[in-house]
Amino acid sequence: MAEGEEGSVLFLPECEAFVQSLHATEVDDFGSGRWASQHQYLEKLNMQAILNAQTHADPFVKEALVLQNKVPMLVEQLLAIEVWKEKIFPLIATSDFSPNQTFPIVMVLHHEATIVNLLETILFYKDTCECCEDMVLDLIDFCYRKLTTLVARHEAGDLSDLLKVTTSGKAVVDRTSMEEVKFQEDKLQYDISIKCLSILRYIVEHRDVISLSALTRLLNVHDVPCLMIRLIEDPPWRYRDASDHMIRKFEEGQWLKVSPADLHKLTKTEGQVWITLHLLLMDGESQRRYNFNDHNKNVLLRLRAYMPDILLDQLPFLTDMKVFLERLAVSDPPGTSSSFVLEQIPEVRQQLLEKHKGRWKQIAAEQREKYFEPSPEEMKKMADRWCNTYDFKALDRLAVNEKPRCALCGAEATKRCSKCQMEWYCKRECQVKHWKKHKPACALMTQAS
């Protein structure tokens, strides 16, 4: 997007100023006014970066982040909010916590998704990956944790509620405000995990600018090839809806019905898995570094059952990988390089855990009182900041390929709240049922705007 074009979230000078103002936020400062300013900068940078990518415009957000060496800080903040969700959020969201407004805590929960979205957009470029330097190790570990958690929850059946496309709004209406927050956080974690696939793919694609320690971590510490095969064998982005017996796939943030004729048509997510596998298995250096053994050889050979001609027609470059697997079945795997590598290990997450060890309850109590039970005046200020952050016309442009969904039942929506313009509904009955929950936020946003 050219500077000054209508619909832009940021102009180039604003972008550079926002990037320069970015700094690390401590775990015990999430929810504060200082943190809110940082979140506002990141939200605007994220929206502009996506708009730039959608319109194939000059990626000036990416360039500013790389030139000012802010990418490592983004990864550090990603780990900080991950630790906050793991250690502090459960201590805040106890059964006796029933705030008048959940908006402040929801904004902190969304902070992780904002950073992941921004990283997914800018890591498309090699110089962004190179700018990560040693922090790429921490980013690899973050993606691995998200994906293995997704696989484990899927195998245990813990994602069943998230995979349901509801036809009734009863479950939504019956939830308490904090139950709804926790449910939305589960959905957010699912979305983040899917985006981690893209991040991991870009890191693998730019493996020539990452350290050998990072490549070793991908191949041997985490065995990403075997992880990708688990995702192919039992994909957590696909399920059969019991209500209509239709297969649905998760794509671009939505569960979409798939006709029998399109069942083998690859989605973007499925394509990312195959591309990542091909990049790792067919690269000469990766083959030399990969510690082949009987277990991962057998796992790799299982992949042949998932490579029909219809897949190769869509991704012709997989043909050489199929040949490689056929040869692997009747021969020994390529020899592993025995050259000595001084392995680096990720340190940031462990440093965060050690720094605040034994203080989690204290931090949770202080944040709960200071930041997450705001007065009406404080809520008004937050609403003003939120309205100033989000350009609704720009948001509509970001969602150009996504059909809006009903806030109550999840069905495709055509009607919008006429007051705040935030929520969508499929019919008036859903809007009426949802009004009790939506009314406080609607009043705040209407007053702020």
**pLDDT tens digits, one per residue of 95-149:** 788 888 888 999 999 999 999 999 999 999 999 999 999 999 999 999 999 999 9
Average pLDDT over residues 178-199: 92
Average pLDDT over residues 227-241: 93
Please name which of 379, 283, 374, 368 lies closest in space to residue 334, comparing C-alpha atoms: 283
Q: Identify the pLDDT of residue 201.
A: 97
Q: Identify the pLDDT of residue 98.
A: 84
Q: What share of the chain is helix, strand, coil (3-state, %, to 5)?
A: 65, 5, 30
Q: Identify the pLDDT of residue 139.
A: 97
Average pLDDT over residues 438-449: 68
Q: Over 80: is that where the pLDDT of 162 sits?
A: no
More confident site: 172 or 266? 266
Contacts 24+ apart (CB under 8 A), 169-174: 169/406, 169/408, 169/409, 169/430, 169/433, 169/434, 172/407, 172/408, 172/409, 172/434, 172/437, 173/408, 173/433, 173/434, 173/436, 173/437
Mean pLDDT of the chain: 87
70-74, 124-128, 202-206, 405-409: least confidently modelled range: 405-409
pLDDT tier, 245 (very low <50, low <70, confident <90, very high otherwise): confident
Average pLDDT over residues 401-410: 72
Whether residue 273 contacts residue 232, with contact meaning beta carbons closer than 8 Å, is answered with yes
Helices (H) and strands (E) in the chain, counts: 23, 5
Average pLDDT over residues 286-299: 92
pLDDT tier, 165 (very low <50, low <70, confident <90, very high otherwise): very low
Using DSSP's 3-state secondary structure scheme, residue 249 falls into strand
Q: Identify the pLDDT of residue 168.
A: 39
Q: Is the dihedral of CA 12, 17, 19, 25 positive or negative?
A: negative
Distance between CA atoms of 319 and 316, rounded to whole angstroms? Answer: 6
Distance between CA atoms of 129 and 119, rounded to whole angstroms? Answer: 10
| Token pair in block for residue 243 | 């209500």
**Secondary structure letter of residue 403 according to DSSP:** -
Distance between CA atoms of 38 and 81, rounded to whole angstroms? Answer: 13
Average pLDDT over residues 162-191: 72
Q: Over 60: is that where the pLDDT of 189 sits?
A: yes
Average pLDDT over residues 206-223: 94
Q: Over 60: is that where the pLDDT of 1 sits?
A: no
Q: Over 70: is that where the pLDDT of 156 sits?
A: yes
151-165, 236-250, 318-332: least confidently modelled range: 151-165
